[in-house]
Amino acid sequence: MLARALPSFSLSPAARAQLGIFLFAYLLYSAARFVTIGDLSVAQANADWIMNLEDTLSLGFESSVQQALTGTVFIWLLNHLYLAAQLVVLPGALWMLHRKARPAYARLRNTVLATWLLSIPVYGLFPVAPPRLADIGLVDTISSQTGFAMDSSLTTSFYNELAAVPSLHVGFAFAVGIALASATSNRWLKVLGHLWGPTVALAVVATGNHYVFDIAAGMVAAAPGYGLGALVAKGTRAVG
C-alpha cells in the first residue's frame, strides 16, 4: 500500500541520455582538473600577480567586501548560495529547461560543456591559490560558518582547490540567468534570472573563494564557451 501511495519518478530515454552525457563529461572534467593540480608555491605566486594587477587597477576590494558583510545575515546567505550554485541551481536549471524550453536548454548545455573543455588547460597552465589560501587575511567563511570543509582531504579529492581562474561559478551563473530569463515571459522572473550572475559574483568574493580577476575570467571563459556550443548545435542541426 505504501509503495502505491508514493509518487513514481521516471526519466524519459531522452532525459537519461542527457544525464549520461553530463555525468560522463563531468567525470572527465573533474579527472582533468585533478590531473592538472599545480604546485602551491606557483599558485600563490600567480595569486600575488593577480593581486598586484588588481591593486594597479584599483580593483583589489575582496577584503573590504568580506569585512563589510561579516556578522550579517547576508554572508550566511552568500555562503549557502555559493554551495548551491553548482550543486543545485545549475543542474536544476538544466532539468527544468530540458522539460520546458528545449532550445534554451540546448544553449545552456552546450555552453557548460564547451566552457569546461576550454577551462581545463587554463587550470593546468595557470594554477591560482584562492584568496582563502593566499595568506592575505581573508577568512574561509564557508568552512567556518556552514560546516562544509572546503579544504579537507575528503572534499579536495573531488576538486582542484588551485583552479581559481576562471571562476566557472560566475561564468555558469550568468549563463544560467540568461537561459532562464530567455525561457520566460514573466518580467519579474526575467529580472531574477539576470540578478543570479551578479549575486554569485558577490558570493565568490565575500566567501574568500575568488578574486575580482577570476570573475572577469569566468565571464570571458563562458562567452567563447557559448560561441563554441552554438557552433556545435548549428553543425548538429545541419547534419541532422
Domain map (residue ranges) of the chain: 38-239
Predicted TM-score (pTM) of this structure: 0.85
Say how far apart CA 142 and CA 197 lie, in whole Å: 19
pLDDT digits (tens, 9 = 90+) for 201-230: 999 999 999 999 999 999 999 988 887 776
Determine which of 4-18, 33-47, 53-67 has the lowest per-residue pLDDT on average: 4-18
CA-closest candidate to residue 123, choices 25, 48, 224, 221? 221
What is the mean predicted confidence (pLDDT) over 76-95? 93
Q: Exposed e or buried b for every residue in 101-117, given b needs 16+ CB within 10 A? A: beebbbbbbbbbbbbbb
Stretch 45-68: mean pLDDT, rounded? Answer: 94
**pLDDT > 70: what percent of the chain?**
80
DSSP classification of residue 157:
G
Grouping H, G, I as helix, E, B as strand and the rest as coil, residue 144 is: helix
Displacement of CA 39 from its chain's centroid (Å): 23
What is the rounded distance in angstroms from the CA atom of residue 239 to the CA atom of residue 218?
Answer: 31
Question: What is the CB neighbour count within 10 angstroms for residue 75?
Answer: 21
C-alpha to C-alpha distance for 240 and 237, rounded to whole angstroms:
5
Residue 232 has pLDDT above 70, yes or no: no
